[in-house]
Structure 1
Amino acid sequence: MDQDERIDALEARIAYQDQTIEELNAALTEQWKVIDLLSKKLAMMEEQVRSGSYIADPATEKPPPHY
């Protein structure tokens, strides 16, 4: 394998690695968005539990399906 072929092979390899890095970055960014959303929801639920507002109003709550 001469030097030009080796350089071409390395350039192709780098191009695939760049594409993979971009795809991983996009997936990681999306996962952090989900984590942030879930963290906010968890904090909201913790606050509801602490304040006692997690108990549903019996007038508006439907009975469970087994009733």
Structure 2
Amino acid sequence: MTDSPSPDSARLDELEMRVVHQDQTIEDLNEAITAQWKLIERLERQVARLAERVADAEQSAGQAAPVDRPPPHY
């Protein structure tokens, strides 16, 4: 018997290592996508709140009495 692995065994070992690395890469990408999705959801909620505040401010500005100010060139 020889101590060197057979070509098939070496090939199988290489394929197994590739699968392990690919599994780790998939896991890392999944974590990144999950984090980005959470960030996107948070930002969407924030934008919605800001849009409501702008709409409320525009509505209340329309109801307020106009302020007599001098034009900006004074």
Normalising TM by the smaller chain, what interval?
A: 0.7 to 0.9
Q: State the aligned residue count.
A: 54
1:49 matched residue in structure 2: 54
3-state SS, counterpart of residue 52 of structure 1: helix
Q: Bigger relative contact order, structure 1 or 2, given CA contacts below 8 A and separation 6+?
A: 1
- Could you list the per-position Cα deviations for residues 47-67 of structure 1 after superposition, in whole angstroms to 9, with x for gaps in the alignment? 1111117xxxxxxxxxxxxxx
Query: Which ranges in structure 1 are unaligned for 5 or more consecutive residues?
Result: 54-67
- Provide the rounded CA distance (Å) in 2 between the counterparts of 1:19 and 1:37: 27
Identity %, equivalent residues: 43
Structure with bigger gyration radius:
2
Instruction: Quote the Cα distance in structure 1 between the aligned partners of 2:57 and 2:50.
Output: 10
TM-score (norm 1): 0.74
State TM-score, norm by structure 2: 0.67
The match for 2:8 among 3, 22, 36 is: 3
